[in-house]
Amino acid sequence: MRRADRLFLIINALRGRRTALPARRLADSLGVSLRTVYRDVADLQTSGVPIEGEAGVGYLLRKGSDIPPLMFTAEELEALVVGTRFVRAFAGERLAQGAQAAMLKIAAVLPADLRGRAERSRVFVPQRWYEVRTGVIDALHEAIAAHRVLRIVYRDQAGKESTRQVEPLCLSCWGHAWTLGAWCRVRRDFRNFRPDRMEFTATGETFVETPERGLDAYLANMGVRRRQIE
């Protein structure tokens, strides 16, 4: 478990309590040592979190100074829930897990009425109704983040194959299909490729984005401004 996640869970465990929570119980629930709990609580106190108590007694948040829940409207919460459902359905395992973990953290600090209302949203996204070969989106996502040059064998709509070396810049989901936006070294121009029509391998080479061949240049070439998609 990441330390940031552990600190979040400690604060959440203390929310709303009227009696001190023993450090041993915190340690057992988090799967860490007592020493780790003592250190984490001390760090939280130093950073300004109003935790009272001490080792051997237990901890609680100072009366009247409970950390307020996240202030979302019902519509904002529903948007987050629906957005998570879309990510789980379309964006590969890596982002799906991240979206689900984020929603669990948000739900943990919400009032019960808002949490229940958000969960009752009737906007659904069928899981994996469209999915490229298992792991393809994750692999392309990783290649984009690491600036890896890819060698691809691509089949166009007519089934004609061509081999390219590309610098991957972004992924876009169009509902029924994904596209990879990239700088094509063969055509010396920006191109879009459908992952379900390609086979690809990493060449072992990395690239550096430049103003002429980076994401902003790609978006301008497509007639899109960054703020229109963010």
Q: How far apart (Å, rounded) are the C-alpha atoms in residues 11 and 30?
A: 12
Higher pLDDT, 170 or 99: 170
pLDDT digits (tens, 9 = 90+) for 150-192: 999 999 888 899 999 999 999 888 777 789 999 999 999 999 9
Locate 110 and state its tokens.
């919400």
Question: Residue 54: its pLDDT value, please?
Answer: 76
**CA–CA separation, 106 vs 103, rounded Å?**
5
Residue 165 makes CB contacts below 8 A (sequence gap 6+) with 149, 150, 151, 152, 184, 185, 186, 203
**Is the pTM higher than 0.85?**
no
pLDDT tens digits along 40-96: 998 888 877 888 887 778 898 876 554 555 567 778 878 888 888 888 777 777 888
As separate numbers, helices (DSSP H) first and strands (DSSP E) second, the chain gives: 8, 7
Residue type (1 letter), 34: L
Upper half-sphere CA count for residue 228 (Cβ side, 13 Å): 7
Distances (CA, A) of 210 to 43, 47, 147, 217, 220: 42, 40, 12, 9, 14
CB 177 within 8 A of CB 190: no
Domain 3-61 bears CATH identifier 1.10.1370.10: no
| Pairwise CA distance, residues 226 & 218, whole Å | 10
**CA distance linking residue 35 with residue 59, whole number of Å:** 14
Q: How many CB atoms lie within 10 A of CB 113?
A: 9
Percent helix, strand, coil in the chain, to 5, is 45, 20, 35
Continuous segment of H or E residues that includes residue 46: helix 34-46
Integer Cα distance of 10 and 40 in angstroms: 8
Select the CATH number that applies to the domain covering 136-228 from these four: 3.40.50, 2.30.30, 2.170.140, 3.30.60: 2.30.30
Report d(CA 204, CA 189) in Å as an integer: 21
pLDDT, tens digit (0-9, with 9 covering 90-100), for 107-140: 766 667 777 777 777 676 666 544 555 578 889 9
